[in-house]
A and B are shown apart, each in its own frame.
Chain A
Amino acid sequence: MSNKIGVYICSGCGIGDALDMTALAKVATKEYKAPVCKTDAFLCGRDGVDIIKKDIAGEGLNFIVVAGCSGRVNHDIFDFGPAVNVERVNLRERVVWTQEPNDDDTQAMAEDYMRMTLVKAKNLELPTPFLGEDLSKKVLVVGGGLAGMTSALEAAKAGYQVVLVEKEDLLGGWLNKMYKITPLKAPFTDPEDTNLEGRVKEVLDNPNIKVYTSASIEKTSGAPGMFDVVIRQGDTTTGERAGAIVLATGSVPYDPVGLEHLGYGTSPDVITQVQFEELAARGPISRPSDGKAVKKLVFIQCAGSRDQEHLPYCSAACCVESIKQALYVKSQNPEAAVYVFYKDIRSSGQYEHFYKKAQAEGVIFVKADVAAVSEDGGSITVEAHDLLMGSPTMADEVDLVVLANGMVPTTAFEDPSLAGAGQSEEQAAADAIIKSNILNLAYRQGPELPSLKYGFPDSHFICFPYETRRTGIYAAGSVRRPMDMGQAVGDAAGAALKAIQCVEMTARGLSVHPRSGDLSFPEFQMSRCTQCKRCTEECPFGAINEDEKANPLPNPTRCRRCGTCMGACPERIISFKNYSVPMIGNMVKAFEVPEEDEEKPRILVFACENDAIPALDMAGINRLKYSRWVRVIPVRCLGSLNLIWINDAMSRGVDGVLLMGCKHGDDYQCHFMKGSELAGIRLSKVSETLDRLGLESERVATTEVNVMDYDKIPKILEDFAAKVDKLGPNPMKGF
């Protein structure tokens, strides 16, 4: 269906005072033959909106162009329902508020933005959602420990079917070895019962939960709404279809074999935290070596953690675990001497009450660096440097030493049987995927969730801790990041929410975060595919598989709609209904490029929708003036930048192209992970082309702009304009 376009120009907020509205309207009516074009002094007012509504009904308009304020405001006012597409021409924040009023160049800018938007309208269709077949709303939870059981129960209580897969023969995970757990509720002063039986019973009794124990996942193929999972139990395999997955396989204690310097291995009475739990669970705490009652005991904190030689990170749970274990001892024998040798006591938040309880019970906390642990005739000596006394200290005749040995996520271990299997990682910025034999994803980019750091498959976003690079698969609990049990319970509930949200959105054909609700998805014109594999390699979410001939096999429900594939494709065969290479390409060709003798250069800016575009708006709101030569095109992500646009711009005589994207590197801010980085890499390729054409590669540059950099925008643009000016006009003008 062709678009029937109505153009509505607002003269309010000073727009009419700064621009020639008649000339602007002529662009729409004469150049683009818009059937309806009206001007109003207060378009966002009730009367203004009524004019548009009446025309939609009366004239059958299905595409409304509102030229006035930024699309970031009045979104609700200019919403005319799902059948009417609305595009905004930002005359206010981007033109009138940043440029000289009643100036030819300001008018030219406004008219160009009108042209660019009208051209966009001609190339844009309303997306129809992708709806998969045999969609499942079931949630697969991998791992039956505290976090996994919690996720399963939370999803089940919300009304969803759950499949819970546990590798051991019993549910409960580490709880099976624990005597008690750290308190989960106020007043946070006493260890709590594990309530293991009650927790397991609740899972087993829940009719919505199907449990597989002694089970592993042999293969996970498919995509959100359509994950096909092969579950192996002994010699048999069972298939399950699930809509989303919670990965809650937890962590394991750091291998104490590396901790000889802290006495591990010197005596059976130097044990780990888990060994101590087992000891406490068995009855009165006694020495493993001879069964004697324990009267003097030392906990050594950060045994492996916060140690560049072992685990550089803090394991987050060990301080409160040791406090809990110290309280076991004190409750059994108040006279026992209990020492905790620590670097910092990290009983954060309300666990401060737990720490205080231990101090009140007489547990002695010593800020010290442990120098040596030795055994002589059945008694242990711990030598340390007391940091507060500034002197050596020593605990001798110690009955038991407990090493708080930290945690390592189950995803950090490469399964030796898988070493060398699978695809090679050939791209420059390949995700770190450790073949841990947990999910065994049939994904072109590798079989497990990408690791963020230290093997934890965590989100890199503070505001979106459930962000995942594998859509529909959410890590929860101590596999995701180091955390204590209280945090793991909450985390598991949150992950359950994300899982049910994913299945619901997938069932409606909607994208999940960050382009939540987007109905568009990439379509591939396969007849022109050259099997170059760039799309399958570069997709930040592993959404595209490959067949044996290297043809891309897209999985629309894994897709997050960033357009990285579209930007990557040298044949330009990938497009969205409402975002495509020709659409942006035509926008590049829509604005006017003055002849060389007019001395009015043109600078094209491709700006990330999420950060650079709001920053440009903020520059306007603060009335910061910037270069009149600039024309901005918003992009979903710089990752969607296709090099043809730069060629198009350059061959029209555009003098410079600037890419404004998010920070990349270790602290990347791109919400599609690698968009700006990939754009930078592509740009290095375009420089060669430009050089060959005799155009200076400096004409195309990239810059990092975050949402708060609006104050820097005028200078960034002026500097770039000055640089381009120095190069002189693009010689391709007029060709």
Chain B
Amino acid sequence: MVNKSILVVGGGISGLTAAVEAAEVGLDVYLVEKNPYLGGRVAQINQYFPKLCPPNCGLEINFKRMKINPGIKFFTMAEVESISGREGDYDVTLRLNPRYVNENCTACGKCAEECPAERANEFNYGMNKTKAAYLPHEFAFPMKYVIDVKACQEGCKKCVEACKYNAIDPEMQARTMKINVGAIVWATGWRPYDAERLGYYGFGRFPNVITNVMMERLAAVNGPTNGRILRPSDGGEISSIAFIQCAGSRDENHLRCCSSVCCMASLKQATYVRDQYPDAKICIYYIDIRTRGRHEDFYVKVQNETNVTFIKGKAGEILEGPDGGLVIVAEDQISQRLTEERFDMVVLATGMQPVTAGERIPAEVSYDEDGFVSESLQAGICAAGCVRKPLDVAASVQDATAAAIKAIQSVRGQNNV
């Protein structure tokens, strides 16, 4: 018997989209997300290009679509352990990791108020801290707190005592759960390429060298600086900033492909800087500016900004001066000069590495040289979004919508509506 429900793995924009789109056709959908909240990396983005609108607006709509649809069951802090079976009949074992907070949580925040311990806030890429009892972010869905027990003080029970609702359970254990589904959409997305592997740019050694994903948090009102773009070294304002494109992408030693979003992302971030610093010098080092389609309009708009320069050339190295200032050494291919320019801050446009480069899908699937899923060898299992290709948000949504119809075909089959 064909099971007509589907499993979507990954609760970022691709997974959410695949789940909601399939559920609105009438399917039962399980959605599984590793983080304690849904929304994935788009929840960490300040604004989308080219409209410069907040991602939480679209997430809000998607969450509403989920809330109203009884066909979707979702699990956060959950992972897929194993898959067996075949199209129409897959047995999947899920591992549900402990949140240490149960469904009683009202998100009143008392636990965090009383919590004495701190932890690095990974939502802000470690640029600030939260308490060990924390809400991942204020738009978190589901709106439930989490306890990071690794950060807790030995024997501390303050949160347990503070909670009036018996919502905190320090003894909570991971458990497994078995489900049977007809098809699986794998949408675990991407992670930023590890910038520390680009030793010549000094990321990790020079505090004012940051990555593009960190820049999103710096510019976000719910980020570590409440939206102010400030130098990490001293919290000072900046008067100059550089963006280095293809930091790790289009590079034989790192990601061989082009990550497809970084050009637009840096152009967008240049507008963040311009909004806050009307006179700051902004410089973008690039190989090609890849603003396809109507995105070209945005490129033209940024080119027309004053004090934004584009240098055709791959930055060779970054040096740090005694004042924390940074000097970029690069060949300007247009003037054919070796340039050395000083900046207060440098943003590395690090590319997208598929999560599957490190964590393979427990199914028969082939991968390309960068770890993207190139082909599913098992009917009824398909990949969607940035595990398949480097894609921007709109293209990820498109891809996830396409994956939803593949899943529907798997569970229905032709002439079998």
Q: Does B401 interact with chain A (Cβ within 8 Å)?
A: yes
- Using Cβ atoms and an 8 Å threshold, which residues of chain B touch A490? 398-399, 402
- From A119-127, A268-276, A614-622, A649-657, give the one contacting chain B: A614-622
Indicate with 1 or 0, residue by residue over A693-735, a CB within 8 angstroms of chain B CB atoms. 0000000000000111111000000000000000000000000
Indicate with 1 or 0, residue by residue over A474-513, a CB within 8 angstroms of chain B CB atoms. 0000000111000100110110111011001100000011
From B61, B222, B288, B405, A494 is in contact (CB under 8 Å) with B405
Q: Which residues 668-714 of A sit at the B interface, judged by CB distance below 8 A? A: 669, 671, 706-711
- Using Cβ atoms and an 8 Å threshold, which residues of chain A touch B46? 708
Query: If the complex has contacts A157-B414, A465-B394, are A498 and B293 also in contact, measured as CB distance less than 8 A?
Result: no
- Using Cβ atoms and an 8 Å threshold, which residues of chain A touch B417? 137, 158-160
Query: If the complex has contacts A387-B334, A669-B51, are A498 and B57 also in contact, measured as CB distance less than 8 A?
Result: no
In the complex, are the beta carbons of A14 and B68 less than 8 A apart? no
Q: Report the minimal beta-carbon distance from B161 to chain A, rounded to whole angstroms.
A: 17
Alpha-carbon gap, A706 to B404, bound state (A): 30
Indicate with 1 or 0, residue by residue over A60-86, a CB within 8 angstroms of chain B CB atoms. 000000000100111110000000000
Q: Does B408 interact with chain A (Cβ within 8 Å)?
A: yes
Q: Does B297 interact with chain A (Cβ within 8 Å)?
A: yes
In the complex, are the beta carbons of A497 and B57 less than 8 A apart? no
- Using Cβ atoms and an 8 Å threshold, which residues of chain A touch B51? 460, 462, 667, 669
Q: Does A348 interact with chain B (Cβ within 8 Å)?
A: yes
- From B103-111, B203-211, B316-324, give the one contacting chain A: B103-111
Indicate with 1 or 0, residue by residue over B53-75, a CB within 8 angstroms of chain A CB atoms. 11111111110110111000000
With both beta carbons as reference points, the residue of chain A lying nearest to B288 in the complex is identified as A344
In the complex, are the beta carbons of A159 and B53 less than 8 A apart? no
Query: If the complex has contacts A462-B51, A707-B54, are A482 and B292 also in contact, measured as CB distance less than 8 A?
Result: yes
- Using Cβ atoms and an 8 Å threshold, which residues of chain B touch A208? 414-415
Q: Does A132 interact with chain B (Cβ within 8 Å)?
A: no
Alpha-carbon gap, A512 to B25, bound state (A): 10
In the complex, are the beta carbons of A76 and B57 less than 8 A apart? no
Q: Which residues 293-325 of B sit at the A interface, judged by CB distance below 8 A? A: 293-297, 300, 312
- By size class, the interface of chain B is 35 or more
- Using Cβ atoms and an 8 Å threshold, which residues of chain A touch B260? 348-349
With both beta carbons as reference points, the residue of chain A lying nearest to B373 in the complex is identified as A186
- The number of residue pairs between A and B whose CB atoms lie closer than 8 Å in the complex comes to 266
- From A19-27, A211-219, A311-319, A572-580, give the one contacting chain B: A311-319
- From B85-93, B235-243, B385-393, give the one contacting chain A: B385-393
Main secondary structure on chain A at its contact with chain B?
loop
- Using Cβ atoms and an 8 Å threshold, which residues of chain A touch B378? none
Indicate with 1 or 0, residue by residue over B12-34, a CB within 8 angstroms of chain A CB atoms. 01000000111011100000000
Q: Report the minimal beta-carbon distance from A97 to chain B, rounded to whole angstroms.
A: 9
Q: Does B335 interact with chain A (Cβ within 8 Å)?
A: yes
- Using Cβ atoms and an 8 Å threshold, which residues of chain B touch A186? 366, 368, 372, 374-375
- Using Cβ atoms and an 8 Å threshold, which residues of chain A touch B288? 344-346
Q: Does B48 interact with chain A (Cβ within 8 Å)?
A: yes
Alpha-carbon gap, A156 to B295, bound state (A): 34
Alpha-carbon gap, A633 to B59, bound state (A): 22
Indicate with 1 or 0, residue by residue over A374-410, a CB within 8 angstroms of chain B CB atoms. 0000000000000111100000000000000000000
In the complex, are the beta carbons of A154 and B405 less than 8 A apart? yes
Q: Report the minimal beta-carbon distance from A474 to chain B, rounded to whole angstroms.
A: 10
In the complex, are the beta carbons of B333 and A76 less than 8 A apart? no
Q: Report the minimal beta-carbon distance from B300 to chain A, rounded to whole angstroms.
A: 7
In the complex, are the beta carbons of B312 and A611 less than 8 A apart? no
Q: Which residues 333-360 of B sit at the A interface, judged by CB distance below 8 A? A: 333-336
With both beta carbons as reference points, the residue of chain A lying nearest to B286 in the complex is identified as A344
Query: If the complex has contacts A75-B67, A348-B292, A463-B48, are A494 and B402 also in contact, measured as CB distance less than 8 A?
Result: yes
- From A227-235, A350-358, A531-539, A637-645, give the one contacting chain B: A350-358
In the complex, are the beta carbons of B395 and A498 less than 8 A apart? no
In the complex, are the beta carbons of B296 and A314 less than 8 A apart? yes
- Using Cβ atoms and an 8 Å threshold, which residues of chain A touch B226? 711
Which of the listed residues A158, A312, A314, A462 has the most CB atoms from chain B within 10 Å of its own CB?
A462
- Using Cβ atoms and an 8 Å threshold, which residues of chain A touch B53? 462, 663, 667, 669, 706
Indicate with 1 or 0, residue by residue over B361-380, a CB within 8 angstroms of chain A CB atoms. 00000101100101100000
Which of the listed residues B60, B312, B372, B374 has the most CB atoms from chain A within 10 Å of its own CB?
B60
- Using Cβ atoms and an 8 Å threshold, which residues of chain A touch B20? 516
With both beta carbons as reference points, the residue of chain A lying nearest to B250 in the complex is identified as A352
- Using Cβ atoms and an 8 Å threshold, which residues of chain B touch A413? none
In the complex, are the beta carbons of B164 and A12 less than 8 A apart? yes
Q: Does B326 interact with chain A (Cβ within 8 Å)?
A: no
Total chain A interface residues with beta-carbon distance under 8 A: 96
With both beta carbons as reference points, the residue of chain A lying nearest to B143 in the complex is identified as A73
Q: Report the minimal beta-carbon distance from A164 to chain B, rounded to whole angstroms.
A: 16
In the complex, are the beta carbons of A493 and B405 less than 8 A apart? yes
With both beta carbons as reference points, the residue of chain A lying nearest to B68 in the complex is identified as A517
In the complex, are the beta carbons of B372 and A350 less than 8 A apart? yes
Q: Does A461 interact with chain B (Cβ within 8 Å)?
A: yes
Which of the listed residues B51, B256, B300 has the most CB atoms from chain A within 10 Å of its own CB?
B51
In the complex, are the beta carbons of B24 and A501 less than 8 A apart? yes
- Using Cβ atoms and an 8 Å threshold, which residues of chain A touch B121? none
Alpha-carbon gap, A44 to B54, bound state (A): 30
In the complex, are the beta carbons of A316 and B393 less than 8 A apart? no
In the complex, are the beta carbons of A346 and B292 less than 8 A apart? yes
Alpha-carbon gap, A315 to B405, bound state (A): 28
Q: Does B413 interact with chain A (Cβ within 8 Å)?
A: yes
In the complex, are the beta carbons of B293 and A390 less than 8 A apart? no
In the complex, are the beta carbons of B25 and A500 less than 8 A apart? yes
Q: Report the minimal beta-carbon distance from A677 to chain B, rounded to whole angstroms.
A: 16
- Using Cβ atoms and an 8 Å threshold, which residues of chain A touch B26? 504
- Using Cβ atoms and an 8 Å threshold, which residues of chain A touch B49? 462
- Using Cβ atoms and an 8 Å threshold, which residues of chain B touch A493? 401-402, 405-406
- Using Cβ atoms and an 8 Å threshold, which residues of chain A touch B253? none
Q: Report the minimal beta-carbon distance from B254 to chain A, rounded to whole angstroms.
A: 12
With both beta carbons as reference points, the residue of chain A lying nearest to B391 in the complex is identified as A349
Q: Report the minimal beta-carbon distance from A216 to chain B, rounded to whole angstroms.
A: 27
Q: Which residues 155-206 of A sit at the B interface, judged by CB distance below 8 A? A: 155-160, 185-188, 206
From A44, A348, A513, B65 is in contact (CB under 8 Å) with A513
In the complex, are the beta carbons of B257 and A350 less than 8 A apart? yes
Which of the listed residues A517, A611, A671, A708 has the most CB atoms from chain B within 10 Å of its own CB?
A708
Q: Does A524 interact with chain B (Cβ within 8 Å)?
A: no
Alpha-carbon gap, A663 to B295, bound state (A): 20
Q: Does A464 interact with chain B (Cβ within 8 Å)?
A: yes
- Using Cβ atoms and an 8 Å threshold, which residues of chain B touch A75? 67
From B57, B139, B394, A611 is in contact (CB under 8 Å) with B57
Q: Which residues 408-454 of A sit at the B interface, judged by CB distance below 8 A? A: 453-454
In the complex, are the beta carbons of B258 and A351 less than 8 A apart? yes
Q: Does A347 interact with chain B (Cβ within 8 Å)?
A: yes
With both beta carbons as reference points, the residue of chain B lying nearest to A459 in the complex is identified as B394
Q: Report the minimal beta-carbon distance from A59 to chain B, rounded to whole angstroms.
A: 25
In the complex, are the beta carbons of A352 and B256 less than 8 A apart? yes
With both beta carbons as reference points, the residue of chain B lying nearest to A69 in the complex is identified as B106
In the complex, are the beta carbons of A42 and B164 less than 8 A apart? yes
In the complex, are the beta carbons of A13 and B106 less than 8 A apart? yes
Query: Could you list 13 further interchain pairs (A-B, Cβ under 8 angstroms) beyond the known A388-B333, A497-B401, A516-B20?
Result: A12-B106, A12-B164, A155-B405, A453-B294, A464-B397, A465-B401, A490-B402, A494-B399, A494-B405, A497-B25, A500-B408, A614-B60, A711-B226
Would you mind naming 29 contact pairs between A and B with Cβ atoms under 8 Å apart?
A: A44-B104, A154-B402, A154-B405, A158-B414, A312-B297, A314-B294, A346-B290, A347-B258, A454-B294, A462-B392, A463-B13, A463-B61, A463-B394, A464-B58, A466-B397, A491-B398, A496-B405, A497-B22, A497-B401, A497-B408, A498-B401, A504-B25, A610-B61, A663-B53, A667-B51, A671-B61, A707-B54, A707-B56, A709-B221
Residues of B that sit less than 8 Å from A by CB: 13, 20-22, 24-26, 42, 46, 48-49, 51-62, 64-65, 67-69, 104, 106-108, 138-139, 142-143, 164-165, 220-222, 226-227, 250, 256-260, 288-297, 300, 312, 333-336, 366, 368-369, 372, 374-375, 389-395, 397-399, 401-402, 404-406, 408-409, 412-417
**CB-based closest 3 A-B pairs:** A463-B58, A494-B401, A186-B374
